[in-house]
Chains A and B, each alone.
Chain A
């Protein structure tokens, strides 16, 4: 019994170390998205953030979502951002609004963060329970049975987004 407890404790501490490492990567990369001087660099740091979030999904036993995260976010969205950066002019100088307003906005964000953290730490949360079934099978089954209407709506939304994006970005043909 005691050995099982110590084994459990070791597992928790390993999980904690992994979590802290991933959290450090996510926080540092997302700060660098804002602070990087070159906007291309901030796009690459955005990709790093997305990969960190994918690692977090794996820790939470959501392998399917981790795969989607890497494919869609780190793959498609970041490449889209890079294309947009390449197609626009490079801005010179500091990429921030005036310093006085920046300070105020930073303070507002910090207050917001403090309020949320206070609520989280004051609340009492449920103890952990696992997902019984393999989560990927469960998602697949649910997506095509209970959530089929939502699935179709998302399909229509994506179609509308594609048409809208093409319409907006096309060049006028004379």
Chain B
């Protein structure tokens, strides 16, 4: 088996890309996509540790994490649609009402 560090390096790279996207992107839908990327990176970590430690509990955590990610995507997109209906845009730079 290849060393565990490879998986950890890949998942941290994916997490870094996702974090960059969350910080930089203007479109709220794209920000949500980058959030999903970060969640996937965390899942890779959990599964890799569960494989390399010989403990399948990590896979159960990932099952829960996927369920929560699905719920988060549904509610997040509903909120984005509501924002679009109210303001006519999904650019997060335009949404200044809650800034104070």
| Residues in chain A within 8 A of chain B (CB atoms) | 12, 15-16, 19, 23, 26-27, 30-31, 33-34, 39, 42-43, 46, 49-50, 53, 56-57, 60-62, 64-65, 68-69, 72-73, 76-77, 80-81, 83-85, 87-89, 91, 95-97, 102, 105-106, 108-110, 112-113, 116-117, 120-121, 125-133, 135, 138-139, 142-143, 147, 150, 154, 157-158, 160-162, 164-166, 168-169
Contacts and interface: CB of A to CB of B under 8 A. Distances in A.
Contacts of B89: 89, 91
Contacts of A97: 24, 26, 93
A27 B26 contact: no
Given A65-B47, A77-B73, A113 B16 contact: yes
B57 A109 contact: no
B81 A102 contact: no
B95 interface: no
Interface string B1-33: 111111111101111111111011111011011
A34 to B, nearest CB: 4
Main secondary structure of the interface of A (DSSP, over half): helix
Contacts of A87: 81, 84
A19 B6 contact: yes
Contacts of B27: 39, 91, 95
B78 A169 contact: yes
Contact of B16 (A46, A68, A89, A112): A112
Contact of A77 (B15, B21, B55, B70): B70
Contact of B73 (A81, A110, A121): A81
Given A131-B56, A169-B78, 7 more contacts: A27-B10, A33-B33, A34-B21, A39-B30, A72-B70, A109-B20, A112-B16
B25 A34 contact: yes
Nearest to B13: A27
Contacts of B50: 60, 62, 131
A50 B80 CA distance: 22
